[in-house]
Amino acid sequence: MSKKLEKLRASQAKDREKLETLQARLKAREEDIRVEEKTEILGIVEEIGMTPEQLANAARMIKPRVLFPYHYNDTPIERVVDLLADEDINIRIRPMK
C-alpha cells in the first residue's frame, strides 16, 4: 500500500473519532437544552396557576420524565395524579406545610 494512501486512511480514522466525539457532545447539549426548556415551561405553569386538568394537558404535551408540582396551594393536586395515571410520568408530590 502506498504511503499516501496510508496517510489518507489514518487521517480519515482521526476525523471519524473527532466526529463521534462531537456527535456525543451535541447529543448531550441537546438533552441539556430539552431539560432547561421543560424547567422554564413548568415555571410558567407555576406562575399562571393552572387547574389540574390544564396541568395534566400541559404535562401530556411536554412529556417530562418527572413532574414535581409545587406552589399548588388549595389545588386538588391528587387530581393531577389521577389524570396522568396512564402516562409514563413520575409524579412527585410533597405535602405542603
Cβ-contact 81, 94 below 8 angstroms = no
In this predicted model, what pLDDT tens digit does every residue of 41-92 receive, in sequence order? 666 666 677 788 888 998 898 888 888 776 666 777 788 889 999 999 888 8
DSSP state of 84: T
In this predicted model, what pLDDT tens digit does every residue of 8-31 receive, in sequence order? 999 999 999 999 999 999 999 998
Cell of 15: 476525523
For the CA atoms of 43, 49, 55, 59, what is the dihedral angle to 10 degrees?
A: -10
Phi-psi region of 63 (alpha: psi -120 to 50; beta: other; left: phi over 0): left
Give me the residue label for grid cell 389524570.
83
Overall pTM surpassing 0.85 (yes/no):
no
What pairs with residue 66 in β-bridges?
A: 90
